[in-house]
Chains A and B, each alone.
Chain A
Amino acid sequence: MITEEVLTLPKTYEEINEKIRKKKAVVLTAEEAIELVGKKGLKKAAKEVDVVTTATFGPMCSSGAFLNFGHSKPKIKVQKAWLNGVNAYAGIAAVDCYIGATEIPEDDPANKVFPGEFSYGGGHVIQDLIAGKDIELKATAYGTDCYPRKELKTYINIKDLNEAVLVNPRNCYQNYNVAVNKHSKRTIYTYMGALKPKLGNANYCSAGQLSPLLKDPYYKTIGVGTRVWVGGAQGYVYWWGTQHSPNAERKNGVPVGGAGTLAIVGDLKQMKPEWIVGTSMRGYGVTLTVGLGIPIPILNEEILKYAAKKDEELFAPIIDYSKDYPNAKPGNLGTVNYKQLKSGSIKIQGKDVPTGALSSYSKALEIATILKKEIKKGKFQITKPVQLLPQAGSKYGFKMLKERPVRR
């Protein structure tokens, strides 16, 4: 009875898609895959499972959206643009702009009264757009013969835009630091949250055993062209992310810290505001929280072996954000695994330190489950990368800036 259901290894993308189209694919979330491998062993499980869904939901800087407003009458070649008072980069064409996640309003007090609140910015504009709210557009220009208009003030709404495309140059960090404050005597306010003095708390930011690139650590199936679930819509990996660093230190084959990243694109018009969320980090600034789900096709045992790695097998470095990180000092205060991080307390230099996460595991689990359902219903097919990401062992790497004296 099961002969036509179970594919022989290695499976191909096309064979798996055929099963997806017939609504017969065996799809598990990464959590369920861990359980199955534990119960049945890798060999048996790899034959049974076709796709493992992974996901993450956390603040991801290097996000933003391209918008095309449409032409006004008379026409304007927008030189400067503001959306709800937040500057959007308009040096692209006449009525295109890019609204970046971390931009803050020009009149925002920022950190003048420390720590600043950063209650609104680019990330919030993007969420408001998705939510269907009217956004105030203000634009100025110098005027040309073909684009005579010099000023524009109006409301825009996502439904009236020609295009609204989320284009995130760096998302989905493979792994991330655990941030602490070791040296400062006061609470420090970082992009990893508020960190209390004397190792008062430790913040981490990864979905651990659910996180996409932790489950495909050698980028065997996730590459350029991979279809992904982003913000509630179907999108794609359009390139490797900026700062992609495949040669980072590894443990059990999995990077300990940053490493790989993805560049993500998707149609903002199809997204939902609960999965793309404007984010305010006290004393630091604004950003965008992105919900991302990526299917991993189980082509062979090796791929499932990594997709079924548990929290206790995945490690993150503990980094001091009071002195070491700001001064780009290498080294760490040790490593911890995600099971320890999720327990609520870790030991750092003999001290018990409470942990908190910026990345929501429960939201990631929701996304992995939604993606699983979509694949099972035949609505979401997997894709073979058109090009692999720069691989571990390649010359591709992450460089620091070499400053040179400027003479003039």
Chain B
Amino acid sequence: MAETSKRLVLHFPKTIIDQPIVYRLIKDFDLIFNILKAKVTPDEEGLLVIELTGDEKNINKGLEYLKGLGVKVEPFSKEVTRDDKKCTNCTVCVAVCPTNALHIPDRKTMRVEYDNSKCIACEACVEVCPYKAMKVRY
């Protein structure tokens, strides 16, 4: 079994918003489903940024299932990176990071660690970094 993770942006047409897609992905394809960002309103298209973890074959089957329903699937390619040379470890980003991707593991040294896998690219840190250490990459 080749376990892997994929970050994807799903665009839902409004016609299928009432379907239990998440349930199917988990139950039928045995996938771990982590919602990174969600925006679904009754009037407009739904948008979901997800991380799918599971067997590569199952992920592909799951994606086929989604595409069959009319869901547009795109790779989640926006990425926030940190320039460690510019970062001063001031910690001003930590209070605004919603997912704790930016965090302080040791309160004695107060150094900021960046866990890219938790980042949802909301760019809150990019806006507040006084040293332009956080950058968006597409």
Chain A residues close to B by CB (< 8 Å): 57-59, 119, 193-194, 196, 201-203, 277, 279-282, 289, 342-344, 354-363, 365
Contact = CB atoms under 8 A, between A and B. Distances in A.
A281 to B, nearest CB: 6
B70 interface: no
Nearest to B88: A360
Contacts of A202: 95
Given A277-B131, A282-B127, A356 B92 contact: yes
A231 B69 CA distance: 60
Nearest to B103: A344
A276 B89 CA distance: 15
B128 A193 contact: yes
Given A203-B95, A289-B88, A358 B109 contact: no
Interface string B14-49: 000000000000000000000000000000000000
6 contacts: A279-B131, A280-B132, A282-B128, A359-B90, A360-B91, A362-B109
Nearest to A343: B107
Interface in B88-132: 88-96, 104, 107, 109-111, 127-128, 130-132
B131 A203 contact: no
A362 B113 CA distance: 12
Contacts of B107: 342-344
Most buried by B among A58, A194, A361: A361
B94 to A, nearest CB: 5
Contacts of B130: 59, 193, 279-281, 289, 358
Nearest to B85: A274
A119 B92 contact: no
A119 B89 contact: no
Given A344-B104, A362-B111, 4 more contacts: A279-B131, A281-B130, A344-B107, A354-B94
B73 to A, nearest CB: 33
A14 B127 CA distance: 50
Contacts of A289: 88, 130-131
Contacts of B95: 201-203, 344, 354-356
Given A289-B130, A343-B107, A365-B109, A357 B88 contact: no
Contacts of A193: 92, 128, 130
A262 to B, nearest CB: 21
A194 B90 contact: no
Question: What is the predominant secondary structure among interface residues of chain B facing chain A?
Answer: loop
Nearest to B132: A280
B89 A356 contact: no
A58 B110 CA distance: 14
Contacts of A354: 94-96
Contacts of B92: 193, 203, 356-358
A232 to B, nearest CB: 14
Nearest to B106: A362
Contacts of A355: 95
B88 A57 contact: yes
B114 to A, nearest CB: 14
A358 B96 contact: no
A281 B131 CA distance: 9
Given A277-B131, A281-B130, A196 B89 contact: no
A196 B128 CA distance: 11
A362 B96 CA distance: 19
B94 A358 contact: no
A201 B132 contact: no
A362 B92 CA distance: 13
Nearest to A208: B110
Contacts of B109: 361-362, 365
A279 B127 CA distance: 13
A354 B109 CA distance: 18
A282 B131 CA distance: 11
B129 to A, nearest CB: 8
B134 to A, nearest CB: 12
A197 to B, nearest CB: 13
Contacts of B88: 57, 277, 289, 360, 363
A119 to B, nearest CB: 7
B88 to A, nearest CB: 4
Given A194-B96, A280-B130, A355-B95, A363 B104 contact: no
- Shortest 6 CB-CB distances between A and B: which pairs? A356-B95, A361-B110, A354-B95, A201-B95, A356-B92, A362-B89
A119 B132 contact: yes
A121 to B, nearest CB: 12
B93 A356 contact: yes
B101 to A, nearest CB: 14
Q: Quick one: which of B93, B96, B130 has the most chain A CB within 10 A?
A: B130
Nearest to B94: A356
A385 to B, nearest CB: 30
Given A277-B88, A282-B127, A344-B104, A362 B94 contact: no
